[in-house]
Amino acid sequence: MFNEQTYAKKNAAIIVIGDLESSFKKLNNIILDNIDIFYLSEKEIFSFKINRKVIFIVADFYKLSISSRYFLFKNNSWRMYQVFHLFTGKKLYNFYECKMIYSYHFINNMNIYLIHHNIRAMISCISDSNEIHIDIEDFKMLFSGCKPMFAFAIGIENNGISKVSSAINSILPVIKDIDESDFILVNVTGWGDLLINEVNSIQDFILKEVKEDATVVFGFGKNKHLNDVLFLDVWYGKLI
């Protein structure tokens, strides 16, 4: 949107650390095609080498040693941008420009499901297939000073209700505090009959929900596998 660099899907990768492999594999069909997933033991992270632009890291944070935690936060050898999904009962904030941190209190199916969709949504945003493009630099610009929240909805046309209306009705109860957010990023993904006026309807809905001085960025992409559904993905955060 503000920046022009795009990425092929092969430039992203997922690293799952520790004993989360069985939980994470349950829903890996949600992850887009051509995304490599690496399952590493705690010892393996220190010697692991990878050359990708964007890395998604999933770990049970407080089961890791102090040296492993320090390495993950201070390590900049895993290229440009790192998105952490950490299971921890303590609050963690993003103090590093090149890292975005999400924390979850428990390891359960719902949180694993949310992680999968967060990764799917970010990859969709930054890949070169998006019609209205969002660059990883846009995420850095918007959320480097806050802890972003993520919400998504799946719009399905049914009983006279459009995909757009279905998505809006589904996401509205989840983003109750979006009216207090300073930065919002929205991406819509669909296929076929997803017309620009439907995207505009979502844009109008979001702009009515946020405060007047909020910074809002919109993206729009097409995915041929989404013939009958629409994905509405929203990131939002308040300055810490």
Name the residue ranges covered by the structural domains of the chain: 64-237
**Which residues have C-beta within 8 Å of that of residue 66, sequence separation ≥ 6?**
none
Among 147, 200, 209, residue whose Cα is nearest residue 172:
209
pLDDT digits (tens, 9 = 90+) for 91-122: 666 555 567 888 888 888 888 888 988 988 88
* Cβ atoms of residues 235 and 148 within 8 Å: yes
pLDDT digits (tens, 9 = 90+) for 9-25: 667 889 999 888 888 87
- The DSSP line for 73-105 is HH---S-SEEEEEEE-SS------TTEEEEEES
pLDDT category, 39, cuts 50, 70, 90?
very high
Name the residue with higher pLDDT: 195 or 206: 206
User: What is the CATH number that goes with domain 64-237?
Assistant: 3.30.1330.20
Name the residue with higher pLDDT: 13 or 196: 13
Residue carrying structure tokens 């320090």:
70
